[in-house]
């Protein structure tokens, strides 16, 4: 997952890309899209991530697509054009202190009040909440229904006075947040889809997240960096590239890199225009790509030696210290968007037809 940092430069770049008509490549024409093939959106997302730019992100890739399938006319009219112009940013709130892997255990309470809902409780790990305009948030609207059937999805403005946002700093230097709701009233117009069916929309949005937010280009860049190091560095006055163990490690990583690339393309190929995103393919890609990222980070530290522990941007560190920041950051990718174990459970159930384990 590329770090999401809000800067005027990032917003300006994305706005410019929006003006070119490149956001919403796959969206239907009636919502301002180009009805293009998913592979073009994939190429754009990868090109941006590969140059350290922002990804097409939560707006176009996750929330916009889910709103097109399930949102009411008011939400579509208000938000879809702004998403295409990149005028709005979103934060996503599923996780709570007692609901992570089991997101359906969420307890944020939404009680009926007039022609809307009053929200009280807490979310945690909400990335982007400190700069986004809108909060895509799940809340429990029917405490008596089975847990997957009593959740509703809302869109809430993050500048609402009843919302408090506190930072959590991660080992990957990324900021995420605790978010507290104190009597936050939301009009019915800002309910996404049907009341109590929110978990279905959340599941679809998670499939999109597992593909959109974990790009391949950064893995490829790190692979190139490591290969270049092996090509040029020496150990005990011998060229590193002559070491058969190192050669074997590199060959394996590069081959796995190709597997990750193809798994990403399989998600694109399996996505049907206007249809629900392919679940097993999303989990297979996310699981393999993020675990490979972590293996690659381990191998970079191992192959390039103790100097890799020097901080990122240290000029005389091997690979300019990129290995240590990657080592810290790639742990997070195997957790956010659903941990690796959860991806394995999904593949087991959805693809292999194995029974549920919880
Ligand atoms: C940096 C960061 C950013 C995040 N951003 C967001 C965000 O923007 N919005 C949001 O809603 N959430 C976000 N998350 C939360 C993330 O989705 C959760 O951390 C994740 O789903 C795991 O939940 P948990 O941390 O509660 O761990 P737990 O669910 O407590 O899991 C602990 C361990 O147990 C394993 N485990 C749990 N259940 C099972 C099972 N049934 N079978 C096998 N193993 C299991 C897990 O794989 C994990 O290894 C973020 C997390 C991080 C770290």
pLDDT number for residue 130: 96
> Cα separations (Å) of 189 from 76, 118, 124, 202, 346?
11, 14, 25, 18, 33
Q: Is 92 in the pocket of ligand 1 (CB under 6 A)?
A: yes
Question: Other CB atoms closer than 10 Å to residue 167's CB: what's the count?
Answer: 10
pLDDT number for residue 21: 87
pTM of the model: 0.93
Low-confidence ranges of the chain (pLDDT < 70): 1-6, 357-358
pLDDT number for residue 125: 97
pLDDT number for residue 1: 54
Q: What is the per-residue pLDDT across 210-253, written as a single tens digit (0 to 9) for each? A: 888 899 999 999 999 999 999 999 999 999 999 999 999 999 99
Q: Is 290 in the pocket of ligand 1 (CB under 6 A)?
A: no
Helix 217-232 × helix 279-304 angle, to 10°: 20
pLDDT number for residue 189: 98
CA 125 to centroid of ligand 1, rounded, Å: 9
In whole angstroms, what is the distance from residue 49 CA to residue 196 CA? 36
Please state the atom number of ligand 1 nearest to the C-alpha of residue 123. Answer: 11
* Residues 288, 259 contacting (CB under 8 angstroms): yes
Which residue has its alpha carbon closest to ligand 1 atom 25?
100
pLDDT number for residue 276: 85
CA 187 to centroid of ligand 1, rounded, Å: 30
């Amino acid at each position: 997952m590329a770090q999401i940092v809000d800067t005027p430069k990032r917003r300006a770049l994305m706005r410019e890309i929006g003006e070119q008509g490149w956001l919403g490549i796959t969206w239907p024409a009636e919502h301002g899209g180009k009805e293009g093939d998913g592979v073009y959106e994939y190429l754009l997302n990868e090109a941006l991530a590969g140059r350290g730019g922002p990804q097409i992100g939560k707006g176009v890739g996750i929330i916009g697509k889910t709103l097109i399938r399930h949102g009411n006319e008011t939400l579509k009219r208000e938000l879809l054009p702004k998403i295409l112009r990149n005028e709005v940013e979103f934060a996503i709130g599923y996780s709570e202190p007692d609901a992570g892997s089991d997101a359906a255990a969420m307890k944020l309470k939404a009680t009926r009040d007039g022609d809307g809902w009053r929200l009280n409780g807490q979310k945690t790990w909400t990335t982007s909440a400190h700069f986004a305009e809108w909060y895509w948030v799940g809340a429990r609207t029917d405490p008596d229904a089975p847990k997957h059937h009593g959740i509703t999805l809302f869109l809430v403005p993050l500048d609402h006075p009843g919302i408090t946002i506190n930072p959590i700093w991660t080992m990957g230097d990324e900021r995420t947040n605790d978010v507290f709701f104190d009597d936050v009233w939301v009009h019915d117009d800002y309910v996404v889809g049907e009341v109590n069916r929110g978990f279905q929309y959340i599941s679809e949005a998670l499939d999109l997240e597992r593909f959109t937010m974990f790009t391949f280009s950064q893995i490829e860049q790190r692979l190139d960096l490591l290969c270049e190091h092996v090509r040029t560095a020496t150990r005990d006055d011998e060229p590193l590239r002559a070491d058969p163990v190192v050669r074997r490690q590199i060959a394996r990583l590069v081959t796995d890199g190709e597997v990750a690339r193809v798994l990403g393309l399989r998600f694109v190929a399996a996505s049907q225009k206007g249809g629900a995103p392919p679940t097993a393919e999303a989990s297979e890609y996310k699981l393999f790509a993020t675990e490979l990222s972590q293996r690659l980070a381990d191998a970079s530290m191992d192959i390039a030696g103790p100097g890799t522990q020097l901080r990122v941007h240290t000029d005389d560190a091997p690979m300019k210290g990129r290995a240590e920041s990657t080592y810290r950051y790639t742990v997070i990718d195997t957790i956010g968007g659903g941990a690796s174990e959860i991806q394995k459970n999904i593949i087991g159930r959805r693809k292999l037809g194995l029974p549920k384990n919880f």
